[in-house]
Amino acid sequence: MTSYLRKPSSLFYIISSMALVWNLMGVFNFLGQALMSDEVLASLPKDQQLIYQDVPVWVTAAFAIAVFSGTLGAVFLLLKKKIASTFFILSFIGIVTQMSYGLLLDEKTDNYGPLGLLMPLMIIAVGAYLIWYSKKANKNRWLS
């Protein structure tokens, strides 16, 4: 059986590039949160201070896994490597773990409201989409 790669469409490169930008925004968000000084934290409104205070280590670790795995997945997707879907799966596990704390377990952040739920749900949807898309790209023989 001969296996050969097909040339992906330009949409593949657009989606892959957008995935990289999306995940890099997550990396910058993570770094901003992880490296936030006490002075910056004190300058935030009280309700936002509550969100950042006393975050369990496992939530911060899940956030790191989500954004760094997602970034690697996007890089591998751009490089047309099959391992991209593995990194997107790791990222999704990190996303769901992190979001479960914010949406289900954190008693201090009951101020999400209907619009506040939009971003966490969008992050989950994008994570799931990137898994699906990377598997589709592999099935279409765009990845090696």
pLDDT in tens, 45-92: 776 776 667 788 999 999 999 999 999 999 999 999 999 999 999 999
pTM of the model: 0.85
| Range with lowest mean pLDDT among 33-37, 62-66, 82-86, 124-128 | 33-37
Q: What whole-number percentage of the chain has pLDDT above 90?
A: 61
In 3-state terms, what secondary structure has residue 69? helix
The mean of the pLDDT values for the chain is 87
**What is the structure's pLDDT at 102?**
72
At residue 77, φ and ψ (nearest 5 deg) are -65, -45
- Which pair of tokens denotes residue 34? 């992880």
118-139 and 10-34 helices cross at what angle (nearest 10)?
140
CA distance 34 to 118: 23
Report the distance separating Cα 30 and Cα 140, nearest Å: 33
26 residue type, one letter: G
What angle, 0 to 180 degrees and rounded to 10, lies between the N-to-C axes of helices 118-139 and 84-100? 160
